[in-house]
């Protein structure tokens, strides 16, 4: 890749952009190397198409503010620099490399190497410790808890990422971009929302988050994590089936109403797992 054409911003002269490693709703993540120290890390910025979009720029700045204000914790991916270059914000953060099976997120583990119960419990405890910590640091709700935002580092520890939709105690009402997970588990940008509009990944959103994301609190994250726990306990299963019995498109993932109905009305199937009562 011609890094100059893809990444025309001059960061520190020692920083070399290696390649793009991910795209989210509004953001794009590059792999970078500090040639002075030989360290590899990730750099996140917003996509070029949003350079002229003030809402997205504010959204991204809010993410950076909420994130950088968090004090470091072993279960949180913490940015180690935030830089504004020519009006564009860049967040530098640790890069979590994939393991030999190509996994570095809980989603990938669930798909390729579903963890044993004991490992799931360790990760679940670590996740709770991390979330309790950020909650005590002023993050009222992450609002996008799902297996793609739970990284697993090389020491097999949980690292919670992506505070892009989080709500903190000192947040003003800044418009956000919808981030909706598609069938492949990737986030898709749909459009700008005003406060009160839909935010998050529908598959993991609590019923109240559909109604008003501004009123979400940590209990909405607990609901989302309940779904993640279900997936862990069932080795990749999901409590609701968005596809109807006849195989027709009973619940289009892009229709929030249908998703809300599933979350609000569907019964959670019993699991033959020690985690059943907790879920």
Partner 1 sequence: MKKNPNERYQKFQDLQKDLAVVYQAIAGKTYSPLHPREFKVEALISRGASLDNLGLYEVALTCYDYAIELDPFEIKALINKAYCLNALGRYDESILYSDKALKIDLKSREATGNKGVSFFKLKRYEEAILLFDSAIELAPWDSSIWMNKGTCLLNLGRYEEAIDCFNTAIDINPNFSEAFKGNGNALSKLELYEEAIENFDKALKIDPYDKSAWNSQAIAFAHLKDFQSALVCSERALEIDNKYCDAYLTKSTTLLRMGRKEEAIEPLNQLLKIDPFYQIAWKQKGVILYELEKLTESLVCFDKATEIFPTDVISLKNKGMVLERLGFYNESIDCLNKVLEIEPTDTVSLGQKGVILGKLGFYEDSINCFSP
The residues binding partner 1 (CB under 8 A) are: 8-10, 13, 51-52, 54, 57, 61, 64-65, 68-69, 71-75, 79-89, 117-118, 121-122, 124-129, 131-133, 135, 157, 206-208, 217-223, 225-227, 230, 239, 263-264, 268, 274-275, 278-279
Q: Provide, rounded to whole angstroms, the least separation between the CB of residue 197 and partner 1.
A: 20
Which residues are bridge partners to 138 per DSSP?
none
Q: Provide, rounded to whole angstroms, the least separation between the CB of residue 113 and partner 1.
A: 20
Q: Provide, rounded to whole angstroms, the least separation between the CB of residue 222 and partner 1.
A: 5
Which tokens in the block code for residue 149? 């935002």
Which is nearer to partner 1, 18 or 128 (by Cβ)?
Answer: 128
Which is nearer to partner 1, 1 or 264 (by Cβ)?
Answer: 264
Which is nearer to partner 1, 37 or 100 (by Cβ)?
Answer: 37
Q: Provide, rounded to whole angstroms, the least separation between the CB of residue 142 and partner 1.
A: 11
The dihedrals phi and psi of 274, each to the nearest 5 degrees, come to -60, -15
Which is nearer to partner 1, 254 or 268 (by Cβ)?
Answer: 268
Which tokens in the block code for residue 170? 């000192």
Tally the C-alpha atoms within 13 A of residue 82's C-alpha that lie toward its C-beta.
15
Q: Provide, rounded to whole angstroms, the least separation between the CB of residue 253 and partner 1.
A: 19
Which is nearer to partner 1, 29 or 222 (by Cβ)?
Answer: 222
Which residues are bridge partners to 40 per DSSP?
33
Could you identify the residue written with the tokens 């609701």? 240
Which residues are bridge partners to 46 per DSSP?
27
Q: Which residues contact 215 (CB under 8 A, 6 or more apart)?
A: 208
Q: Which helix (H) or strand (E) holds 68?
A: helix 54-69
Which tokens in the block code for residue 26? 């509004």
């Amino acid at each position: 890749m011609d890094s100059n054409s893809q990444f025309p911003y001059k960061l520190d002269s020692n920083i070399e952009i290696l390649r793009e490693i991910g795209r989210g709703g509004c953001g794009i993540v590059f792999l970078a190397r500090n040639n002075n120290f030989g360290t590899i890390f990730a750099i996140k910025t917003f996509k070029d198409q949003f350079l002229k979009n003030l809402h997205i720029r504010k959204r991204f700045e809010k993410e950076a503010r909420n994130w950088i204000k968090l004090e470091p914790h072993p279960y949180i991916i913490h940015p180690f620099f935030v830089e504004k270059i020519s009006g564009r914000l860049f967040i530098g953060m640790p890069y979590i490399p994939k393991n030999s099976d190509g996994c570095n997120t809980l989603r990938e583990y669930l798909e390729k190497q579903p963890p044993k119960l004991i490992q799931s419990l360790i990760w679940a405890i670590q996740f709770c410790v991390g979330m309790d910590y950020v909650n005590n640091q002023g993050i009222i709700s992450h609002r996008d808890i799902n297996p793609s935002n739970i990284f697993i580092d090389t020491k097999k520890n949980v690292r919670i990422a992506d505070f892009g939709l989080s709500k903190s105690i000192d947040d003003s009402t800044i418009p956000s971009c919808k981030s909706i997970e598609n069938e492949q588990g990737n986030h898709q940008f749909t459009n700008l929302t005003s406060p009160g509009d839909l935010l998050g990944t529908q598959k993991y959103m609590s019923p109240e988050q559909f109604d008003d994301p501004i009123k979400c609190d940590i209990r909405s994250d607990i609901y989302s994590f309940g779904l993640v726990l279900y997936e862990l306990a069932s080795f990749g299963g999901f409590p609701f089936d968005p596809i109807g019995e006849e195989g027709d498109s009973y619940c289009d993932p892009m229709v929030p109403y249908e998703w809300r109905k599933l979350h609000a009305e569907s019964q959670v199937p019993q699991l033959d797992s020690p985690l059943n009562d907790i879920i």
